[in-house]
Structure 1
Amino acid sequence: MAFPAKLSSYVRIQGFSMKLRSRLALMALLALVPLLIFSALAAKRLSDGTRENAIRAMQETANATALIIDRELQGALSAVLVLSRSPLLLDEKFAQFYDQAKSTASGDSAWVILYAPDGRQALNTRVPYGAPLLIRPSPDELPPIISAKGVHISGMVWSRALKKHIIFIDVPVTTRSGKNYVLSQAVYADHFGVAFKERDIPSTWVVGIFDKEGMTIARSIGADQFVGKKANPDTVEAIRLGVDSFRKHVVRGELEVYDVITHSDLSGWAVAVGVPVEEIDGQVREAGYMAAGGLLLAVFAALMGSGIVGRQLASSIETAAIASDMLGKSEELPPLRRSGTREIDHLQHAIVSAAAKLKAAETKNAELLDSERTARQAAELENRRKDEFLAMLGHELRNPLSAITSAVSLLRLRVGDDPAVRRPTDIIHRQSAHLRSLLDDLLDLSRVIYGKVQLDMQPTDLAALIGGSIKNMTDTAKLSRHTFSLSTVPVMVSADLTRMEQIFSNLIDNAVKYTDEGGSIQVSVTQGHGMALLRVADTGVGMGPELLPYVFDVFVQGDNTLARTKGGMGIGLSLIKKLVELHGGTVAAFSEGVGRGSVFEVRLPVLASGASAEAAGHAIDAALDGVKVLLVEDQDDLREMTQALLAELGLQVWSAANGRDALAIAAAHRPQVALIDIGLPDMSGYELAVALRGNDQAAPMHLIALSGYGLAGDKQRAAAAGFHHHLTKPLPLDELRQYLAALNLP
């Protein structure tokens, strides 16, 4: 064959070449293969047949012994059953019944006993009637026998009076007067040795009879030594399984035996037959040794012949073997030399080709890994920049929003009850809070989708809240294209006002979006069964049965054409469901089909207490009166509005624009609370917190961080710097009031 030139540059010699010799030996032994196979099959058949016959004989012995035991037990049981129906017994004529029972006793090995439920004997045919009687050795067995109302065959019981082991065959009896007894036939355990006398058992075989717990009742060999004792642990375990089995195991630590275990259906006892392994396997082993010896001689002769021939080709195979080994280790192949054997040369060529392909694949894989690593690092950088941008955006938006919120909160505190001013300020305040909530959701949408939103719960009249929201929608002509009706009754719930308005607004938006102009939208608030029910019904496009079960899933939308026309990403209803569940409520959707409108029902728990929110607010205001607060904020407008707002709440407020002034004020006025902006010009809020905590001239104070960053990591960093609480801009006034009131400062 034409051999590639490059192959001549690779060679390595190693002193191992068994593969070719093995193949030659196999060829030489080819004629012996049928002999090997048939000899092995014959030996296997002989071994299996001998073993199967012995095991079958063991099984037959075990089954026959079990049948003899069942026969003996059935005879005793039949006698007891007949006696249990005796009118003398049922009429409690025990003296006459004693004579009847004694006449049925079979020999000296069995007698009849009548037991009361507590184990005392009412009569015993082994002793004269009226003689003193003993208590049953195991009286605790009797109540379950009476309760079960069935036949019971005991295990081994030691009689201290008779100094022998006994078996009880028990039948529960209820006399005509309603008294319960147990009629038993007691049998000496050694009576069951009759089973061994009726079978011609080989002298080397051991047959044992065991109760359910593995206690030896009878034994064909060594009865005096083993009767009344438990079998070895593995035999006990096999007996308790209650399944007929065959096994091979070691007894007394030295004798290996085959065991067959069968069980009596009547009593649950087990019969085990043990035979030494050597007795069964010895003859088979001898025949096997002879066959194996002949086969070994034939194999030896074949190997000798193949070795002589294989030695001539040994050197040719060495190069391919070593090259294969080096290929597996990804090592550079040294120059190979032609072997002169066509097959070997072809193998070497394949190895060299595989080495080249492997090296190319490794190079390509390294390039792909580098490319993946570069792309992953770029993606991680972009993701980190995105997070930083969103955090910065939130911070920049929260600062002006915080000033607006503080200013409108101050206006609300000062306008009094003038409705012309009060209503606009309320709207600005509520919508500012709504804007802040939407900003939080923008920065961390997963908080809303997965129920991680923090709710500001307070007593709320759901009807009033819905009515106010409807008024706002009416003012903006949101409902002008539809027929709208509202029916409410006052009902108090615990709710976050902003989130509840968001829930209702989303429901109305959904109804308006999918109801054509001129359609009807009905809103009602009712109460029943301890729940407040908000119901929004429309005459819009409705939903088919295939959509209804999934309407609250994220990104689920109806007909694609309609979804593109109306807009939306399919998260509104999912958001509603999460927010309602955070309020401890439920939401459900109903529709009779496409084109037949939709109904959405929100259920919320009604407040159990009638405590007024106004009274709670007065209590909070009283707790804040005179509390000394240090406000640290670098933005002038925000600092001015926040200071005025805090002062309006009754707090005594000092303000500083930087950390240096804050430290001076803290030393001079010793405030009780410090409200600190994190982004200060001369030092960070974290550094200021550490300085205040280490300032001996300043009184110990509660430190509250105020930041435009509200992620979990920001709160953890504030806590690590020593802050007791963290607030996110714009300043959540109600949360601050409740926190300060809870401190109960003097």
Structure 2
Amino acid sequence: MRIRSQLVALVIALVVPITLLAGATLVQLQSVQRHEQEERLRERVTALRLALDTQIESGLRALTGLASSSSARNELVASSDAAALFASHPLWRAITLQPLAEGGTAWHLAREGASTDAPPAAVLEQASQAAGGVLSDVVEGNRSYLAVPVQRQGRTVGVLLATIGDAEWLAFLRRYDIAGPGTITLSDRSGRIAARTLEHEQWVGRDADPQFLQATRDQDEGVLTARNLDGTPYFSAFSRMRSAGWVLSSGVPVAILDGTVRKTTLVTVVSLTAATIAALLLAAVISNRIASAMTGVLEMAAGLADDEPGEARVLGQIDADTVRQKAQEAADARRARDEAQARALASETRARAIAEAASRSKDQYIAMLGHELRNPLSAIASASAVLAEPAALARDRSRALEVVQRQVRHLRKMVDDLLDATRLASGKLELQRRPVDLAAIARHVVGHFDAAGRCSGLRIELVAEPVWVEGDEVRLEQIVSNLLDNACKYTPAGGHVRLSVAADGDEAVLTVADDGPGLEPELLPRVFESFSQGPRLIDRSPGGVGLGLSIVQQLVVLHGGKVSASNGGDLGGSLFNVRLARCAPPAAGHGDAAASAPAGALRVLLVEDNADSREMLAALLELQGHAVSTAADGQAGLEAIRRERPELALVDLGLPGLDGHSLAAAVRAEGSTTRLFALTGYNTEADREAAARAGFDGYLVKPLDLQAFQALLVEHGLAGRRRAAGGS
């Protein structure tokens, strides 16, 4: 009995740790499966949300471009232009022009079999008040609208709408559908379901579960466990569309997610129970055999002692077939495990290669950007050293000053290109449209290039006839400047560059051609992509960060025009053509003669925390004839305004302690008459709006542009004013 008790104790000692380990493994398995499902749902929802945001933003940009285009007839927007745009957007069921004033011509284009219901008045009102277009919520008939206002001469005269039905939303979602009972759901801002990949007809147009609405109201993305409209618990991930505020969610029933764990748990419990019982039975059998064998040995010993040998007990033989079978099963399991590891290793290798390629691209771009920044910084450092050298001649100092000014302009252009590319990509760049002469802009750009020596060693030919277009003068000048700069970079010394402006029917055509080597065949299809550049030698003599042509293409599209690139032409090198819609020239007498009026001496307070910037800017303003005082932080600036009562205060926004916005609010609350101009390195519409709300009268971007500063002085009636004698 002692042998049997010891074997039972051994079995128990082995089974208990195995049971505990199995339980811990099951708990970990459930956690891992939940985490993996969460990550899969997050990735799916994020990918689909990005695709939907791209579709909506692309559609709004296309409608905005169409709404701003001019028509050859009396229509607000040409239906023929809309038909071409409609064909390239399969998500749209119909496209409609709805005039808001009498005399406008409405039209409606719809796909075959689509309804022709008029858009609701609420959608028209919402669109007419939106500056950049909207995606409406789901309305009666399970429809939603992409809508943009049609503006003519500064007022909204109609609304251009693209209808998207639940069938179109559903077709788009099913491109990313998931296998099995999982579902993808799209809800509008109010929580109404626009499309659902599972049982769509049953759920479309209904409100989402209140628990889901509460969970997603204050978050842009996340995961949660909630009940479906039919009461089924779902494990879901959601993400809010940046373009419209709609919510996209993907979920899997909790029962299915936990079913695998429950099945594994049941199999494990049954297996452990069976193994324990079998081990106990085996222990009993082995203990009986050992006891029998010991009894046989004792009988044989007793027999030998009596000279009568006893009968020996034979122990059982091991089953060889069972051993071979178990060994084969183990070998098969090992082979399957090795194959799975090989597949995982191959997948990891591919992912690592992709990541390394992305890292190399990032490193190359950063290295290129660093090189482009070091060139002007090196020139500025050397010029500063010349200016600081007491033995430097006057002509050396003059030359060094020219270098500093030119390189600062170069740095500003690089930063402006990066910021413009960001604003264009996010759709936050707004155009200030008015009739402008494209030929005058071309002449101004060429004159600027000549004065700055940016095309030295080249022959620049300008052929321009007056052609008027409706556009943003600053951005049109940027288009011409970027194209001419690109031609000058890639044309060898002694080459020929031609800039021409001409009318072609209802269009104005801007052409920039050169006799350089032309565009590489592999670069030509992607020449307008960001950071696309032709082959460079190690010296990178042409310079630039690869954004100029991308900005050109996006600005031309914002103006409702087209740009193309090719090789050949009269000069044999690269050829760029920009086509914009023509407009009638403005009436005479619209110039602003006051814009050039010189500024008089003013009492100016400069509030800037950077000591070098404060000292140099104060010196520059004093050279302009102004009486300048300074403050190094917001509190000191506020006290100086109270004490000195300056006519103008230039205030940095990022000040320590009391920031620029708080300073402006305090000044306005006290009723001070001091004009406040913000001077900052931030330059977005949101920054400008925040400054205006705080109480600033004007907005200037670092480094200070004296022409922009002068224009603000003229605008606020400060130009030509003289400081009173004895004034403080």
Regarding TM over 0.5, the answer is no
Look at both structures and tell me which one has the larger radius of gyration over its CA atoms: 1
TM-score by length of 2: 0.37
TM-score by length of 1: 0.36
- Higher normalized contact order (CA 8 Å, seq sep 6+, divided by chain length): 1
